[in-house]
């Protein structure tokens, strides 16, 4: 590698600069480590640095007008490391010393310049994809500040952009904090919450696609944050088209992977990979994508593979943190695995695999249970999802009001043998913690004892051939308005409950019956009005849900395609459906009242 680089430096540049420029030495070491595989990297990172070294060989060719200027690259790296500072956590206020992989990115971005004009940079577009907690926003902020000071361009315009203003302010706020904490930057910039002013009348501000106007821009840089959230490329197109008057503009996109498989981000990833594969030529695009090589056999739960998506592992993010997140994903399954693959393996995964994201499901207002059911007998609606007798059964009690919030209390029933069978296949399954969940009732034997469910709801149960009564039951605690049940496999228990005086209503499992309450269930959760109390079993089941849609846009959860049990979700939707559709029966007037009205 050193021989290749020495042979490939631009004409007139002494080779000793490479060995004597300490900051650039870290770049060469990183590139060499990636290529000789002493540094674990994904396939397309290897291809990116193969491209870099191949381009060094092209310097001086008639069809390649670019040279790699080590002094220019070192100038931008030096600025970042001596002027920019960390703004959060234990490192706040300390100098921002780049990791080797960041040095390699910055070095490429600014080091490649035109052979006849050092102020004309090769790369006008940079698409950078890396897993969460890799310092994307901090790195983007440092790039913008370096360009604002070192590019020496009059009235420069620097925009941080995203689909929503809050996201657009992520990088902007990082810049603002850096300006306030760095004495050197504080002398050159003035910052408020809306915009930052700097040398030669430059301005830095956040911009979103919902801004009133995107016209009239003349940008030096358009930094698009979290491109995976963009539904279309309109914002990107407008920003890119506003750079024509600048000599060395930069369209910078930084992002983690996302859940949209047909969006602008996946298009850009596909296009970037084609450039690295050599099937498409674009000498002005710098593309880096840190991801695990899923297509080549990497497993999402392999710590060695994580290094490919997390180049800052051990610095910006710890192995211990990733391992804990992986363990949680294995515990809850379904959607939490998908989220781990997206956020920490940097893989795009279809949104159809996720219904309600876990951070929204587990928001503070959903975890609370604000309705006091101990002091008064409130109206309640029950959804009962009866499975086969050798499988899980669940019922959900819903109280509250559809407008202000619905509070859920779920109960789960499993035969002892079903738990044993599952743990024999997978000892890490959630059933391994079943004793920790007070709302899970394991009944002895091979089949669920419906007598236990009857006793819990109505208080009646059979013992020694006689019907007994347990006053500690839900009918005593609540004013049960109705029990929604699936006709399949329910007749025996429902007949008993109705005989005990509990009102029961059949509830269909098709789109006609399930779509509206399913959408309402989702709406409540997203608004923080589905007070599930942090039920860990229900949380796990939400991660297993496969949501099925019909051509008309109706939805329902699909047990046959879901990753694991979802009975508690089905029961909760049915309980909410019962609440939404319940109507008080009109009481027929007695005969005497009728005769008095008609005057007879």
pLDDT per residue as tens digits for the range 32-82 = 999 999 999 999 999 999 999 999 999 999 999 999 999 999 999 999 999
**pLDDT value at 263 more than 90:** no
Exposed / middle / buried, residue 271 (Cβ in 10 Å: 0-12, 13-18, 19+): middle
Sheet holding 117-121, edge to edge: 66-68, 112-114, 117-121
pLDDT per residue as tens digits for the range 290-314 = 999 998 999 999 999 999 999 999 8
**pLDDT value at 13 more than 90:** no
Exposed / middle / buried, residue 531 (Cβ in 10 Å: 0-12, 13-18, 19+): buried
Tokens 């459906």 locate to 577
CA 334 to chain centre: 14
User: Residue 217 in 3-state DSSP?
Assistant: coil
Q: How far apart are CA 288 and CA 126, in angstroms?
A: 8
Matching fold, domains 2-123+131-226 and 361-581: no
Other Cβ atoms less than 10 A from the Cβ of 105: the count is 23
pLDDT per residue as tens digits for the range 404-427 = 999 999 999 999 999 998 888 777
The pTM is what? Answer: 0.66
The reported pLDDT for the residue numbered 584 is: 67
Q: How far apart are CA 93 and CA 439, in angstroms?
A: 48
Report, as an integer, the average pLDDT of 582-592.
56
With cut-offs at 50, 70 and 90, classify the pLDDT of residue 331: confident
**pLDDT value at 350 more than 70:** no
**CATH, range 2-123+131-226:** 3.40.50
The reported pLDDT for the residue numbered 108 is: 97
Fold of 361-581: Nucleotidyltransferase; domain 5 (3.30.420)
Instruction: Give how far Cα 595 sits from Cα of 74, 586, 588, Å.
Output: 101, 19, 13
Spatial CB neighbours of 322, under 8 Å, sequence gap ≥ 6 = 303, 306, 310, 313, 344
**pLDDT value at 19 more than 50:** no
Q: How far apart are CA 74 and CA 558, in angstroms?
A: 57
Other Cβ atoms less than 10 A from the Cβ of 154: the count is 9
User: Residue 97 in 3-state DSSP?
Assistant: coil
pLDDT per residue as tens digits for the range 1-10 = 433 333 334 3
Spans of all domains in the chain: 2-123+131-226, 361-581
Other Cβ atoms less than 10 A from the Cβ of 486: the count is 20
């Amino acid at each position: 590698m050193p021989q290749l680089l020495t042979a490939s430096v631009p004409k007139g540049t002494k080779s000793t600069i490479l060995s004597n420029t300490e900051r650039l030495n870290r770049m060469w070491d990183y590139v060499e480590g990636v290529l000789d595989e002493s540094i674990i990297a994904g396939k397309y990172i290897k291809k990116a640095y193969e491209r870099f070294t191949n381009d060094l060989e092209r310097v001086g060719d008639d069809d390649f007008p670019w040279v790699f200027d080590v002094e220019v690259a070192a100038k931008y790296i030096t600025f970042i490391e001596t002027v920019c500072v960390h703004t959060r956590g234990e490192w706040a206020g300390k100098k921002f010393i780049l990791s080797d992989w960041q040095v390699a990115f910055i070095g490429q971005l600014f080091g490649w310049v035109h052979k006849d004009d050092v102020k004309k940079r090769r790369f006008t577009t940079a698409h950078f994809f890396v897993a969460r907690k890799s310092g994307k926003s901090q790195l983007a902020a440092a790039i913008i500040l370096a360009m604002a000071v070192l590019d020496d361009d009059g009235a420069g315009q620097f925009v941080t952009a995203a689909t929503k203003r809050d996201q657009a302010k992520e990088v902007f706020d990082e810049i603002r904090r850096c300006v306030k904490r760095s004495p050197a930057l504080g002398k050159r910039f003035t910052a408020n919450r809306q915009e930052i002013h700097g040398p030669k009348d430059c301005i830095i501000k956040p911009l979103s696609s919902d801004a009133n106007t995107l016209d009239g821009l003349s940008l030096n840089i358009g930094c698009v944050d979290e491109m995976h959230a963009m539904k279309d490329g309109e914002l990107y197109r407008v920003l890119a088209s506003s750079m024509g008057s600048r000599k060395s503009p930069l369209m910078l996109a930084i992002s983690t992977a996302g859940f949209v498989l047909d969006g602008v981000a996946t298009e850009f990833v596909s296009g970037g990979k084609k450039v690295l594969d050599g099937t498409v030529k674009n000498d002005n695009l710098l593309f880096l994508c840190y991801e695990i090589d899923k297509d080549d056999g990497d497993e999402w739960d392999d710590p060695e593979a994580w290094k490919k998506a997390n180049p800052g592992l051990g610095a910006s993010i710890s192995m211990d943190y990733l391992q804990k997140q992986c363990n949680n994903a294995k515990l809850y399954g379904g959607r939490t695995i998908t989220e781990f693959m997206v956020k920490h393996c940097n893989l795009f995964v279809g949104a159809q695999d996720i219904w309600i994201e876990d951070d929204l499901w587990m928001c503070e207002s959903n975890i609370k249970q604000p309705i006091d059911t101990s002091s008064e007998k409130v109206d309640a609606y029950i959804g009962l999802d009866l499975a086969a007798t050798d499988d899980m059964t669940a019922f959900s009690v819903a109280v509250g009001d559809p407008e202000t919030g619905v509070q859920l209390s779920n109960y789960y029933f499993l035969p002892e043998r079903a738990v044993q069978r599952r743990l024999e296949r997978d000892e890490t399954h959630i059933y391994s913690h079943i004793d920790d969940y007070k709302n899970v009732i394991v009944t002895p034997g091979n089949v669920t004892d419906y007598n236990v469910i009857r006793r819990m709801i109505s208080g009646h149960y059979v013992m020694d051939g006689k019907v007994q009564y347990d006053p500690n039951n839900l009918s005593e605690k609540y004013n049960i308005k109705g029990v929604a049940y699936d006709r399949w496999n329910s007749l025996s228990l429902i007949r008993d409950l109705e005989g005990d005086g509990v009102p029961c209503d059949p509830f269909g499992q098709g789109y006609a019956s399930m779509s509206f309450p399913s959408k309402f269930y989702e709406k409540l959760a997203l608004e923080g009005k589905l007070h599930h109390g942090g039920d860990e079993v229900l949380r796990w089941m939400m991660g297993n849900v496969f949501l099925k849609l019909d051509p008309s846009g109706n939805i329902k959860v699909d047990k046959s395609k879901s990753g694991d049990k979802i009975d508690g979700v089905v029961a909760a939707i049915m309980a909410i459906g019962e609440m939404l559709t319940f109507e008080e029966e009109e009481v027929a007037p007695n005969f005497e009242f009728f005769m008095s009205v008609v005057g007879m």
